[in-house]
Amino acid sequence: MLATLKSEESSGQLQLVEREDIEDDEDLFEAIDKLIAQGINAGDVKKLQDAGIYTCNGLMMHTKKNLTGIKGLSEAKVDKICEAAEKIVNFGYITGSDALLKRKSVIRITTGSQALDELLGGGIETLAITEAFGEFRSGKTQLAHTLCVSTQLPTNMRGGNGKVAYIDTEGTFRPDRIVPIAERFGMDPGAVLDNIIYARAYTYEHQYNLLLGLAAKMSEEPFRLLIVDSVIALFRVDFSGRGELAERQQRLAQMLSRLIKIAEEFNVAVYMTNQVIADPGGGVFVTDPKKPAGGHVLAHAATVRLMFRKGKGEQRICKVFDAPNLPEAEAVFQITPGGIADAKD
């Protein structure tokens, strides 16, 4: 079992579903081992796995130039591998009706606040990147901690029924904070913490390598959420000044591309936090001269952008800044000992 709910609450339907019980799960990605049946050498498949490619879907997300960079794979081999993968995975056109059916596999994970869920159309979506930006103390990391727990709830309780990966660049993850949140949702804190894998990144390269290493874990176990808190911090440290800005944005784009590929390859939700920068050129009439860091590269990569700001007391306000399917609106929520919850007037 993924998580054990407390005995007094553990009536049958609250138990998390075993991996075997989920039939649709198999359709999400094709394991890279299937290439062997298409006549690809097992040694070459092993080389792909060593490079962090564990599914045929993931393989098709790499350029041939990338693949020939893997030690021991020649151009001829790469061509043969790609041909075999194309037979297994359809990467061509599909109809709008098929696309709509595909969207049915999207899982929406509750944030813990009814108002915030309604604003987001049901919760944080899988197959997408949700970015939250705002000043310090605006509730971004608190939402991350709440999602660590709510993702492990069964789907009938608006959870994701899966594990969580947490990449921390600012040192703000607190496992002891997870305990009261788990208790609020009636789950066993020990089991909840066991289902979270955590890594502290110190450089942008380290951060990228941690993302590459995730494919191995996600292809074996059912993950539903990847948190990167925060996505930009290390890039702001490791690159300085205008002279390095172009390279910084290029590296940032590569990392964001990796994030969206993880989201689509394994049907996980990606929640990343972002910092803000002062915008002195914002003009006299701009009441709040702060904008999200990362520029256009980050703006285009995020599927849903949320702006967090402080309200009165423990209240916080979340505004949909940009989303393909949500209207621009606001919701008020509150930070409580049990995580994110609806605001009390």
40, part of any domain: yes
Average pLDDT over the chain, rounded to whole? 88
Query: Same domain for 77 and 141?
Result: no
- In this structure, the answer to whether residues 70 and 197 fall within a common structural domain is no
Q: Which residues, in sequence order, are CB contacts of 187 under 8 Å at separation 6+?
A: 3, 4, 5, 6, 149, 152, 153
**Residue 7 reports pLDDT greater than 50:** no
10 lies in some domain: no
- Number of domains into which the chain is organized: 2
Residues with Cβ within 8 Å of 310's Cβ and at least 6 positions away in sequence, in order, are 135, 137, 138, 316, 317
- The pLDDT value recorded for residue 241 is 87
User: For residue range 145-197, what is the model confidence (pLDDT) as tens digits?
Assistant: 999 999 999 999 999 999 999 999 999 999 999 999 999 999 999 999 999 99
Q: Are residues 243 and 120 in the same domain?
A: yes
pTM above 0.85, yes or no: yes
Quick check: 265 pLDDT over 70? yes
- The pLDDT value recorded for residue 285 is 66
88, 110, 126 - which closes a domain: 88
pLDDT level of residue 139 (50, 70, 90 thresholds): very high
Choosing from 88, 115, 133, the residue where a domain stops is: 88
Assess whether 78 and 163 both reside in one domain. Answer: no
**Has residue 327 been placed in a domain?**
yes
| Confidence class for position 4, pLDDT limits 50, 70, 90 | very low
User: Using CA atoms, how far apart are residues 286 and 289, in angstroms rounded to an integer?
Assistant: 6
Q: Are residues 84 and 106 in the same domain?
A: no
**Which residue bears the tokens 């609450």?**
9
Residue 286 confidence (pLDDT):
61
Residue 9: predicted pLDDT: 39
Asked whether residue 5 is assigned to any structural domain, the reply reads no
Q: Percent of the chain, pLDDT > 70?
A: 89
For the chain, the straight-line distance linking the first and the last C-alpha, in angstroms and rounded, comes to 39
pLDDT of 331: 95
Structural tokens at position 234: 């290390």
Query: Is 197 found in the same domain as 55?
Result: no
- Of 9-23, 45-59, 226-240, 302-316, the poorest mean pLDDT is in 9-23
pLDDT at residue 11 greater than cutoff 70: no
Residue 26 pLDDT level (bands cut at 50, 70, 90): very low
- Over 70: is that where the pLDDT of 18 sits? no
Check whether residue 81 and residue 229 sit in a common domain.
no
Tell me: do 62 and 124 sit in the same domain.
Answer: no
Q: Are 144 and 166 in contact (CB under 8 A)?
A: yes
Are both 106 and 81 inside the same structural domain?
no
For 280-286, the CB contacts below 8 A with 24+ separation are none
Query: Within a domain: residue 138?
Result: yes
pLDDT for the residue numbered 20: 36
Domain, as residue range, for 327 = 102-342
- Are 84 and 116 in a shared domain? no
**Domain of residue 58, CATH code:** 1.10.150.20
How far, in Å, are 9, 35, 140, 158, 179 from residue 272 at the CA level?
A: 32, 33, 9, 20, 22
Give 177's Cβ-side CA count (13 Å radius). 15
151-343-315 Cα angle (round to 5): 95
Q: Do 42 and 109 belong to one domain?
A: no
| Residues 68 and 160 occupy one common structural domain | no
Residue 230 lies in a domain: yes
Q: What is the pLDDT of residue 13?
A: 34
DSSP for 255-294, please give it: HHHHHHHHHHHHT-EEEEEE-EEE-GGG-TT-S--EEETT
pLDDT score for 344: 85
150 cis-preceded (ω within 30 degrees of 0): no
Taken as a whole, the chain contains a residue count of 345
14 in a structural domain: no
The CATH number given to whatever domain includes residue 238 is 3.40.50.300
The pLDDT of residue 15 is 42
Asked if residue 297 belongs to a domain, the reply is: yes
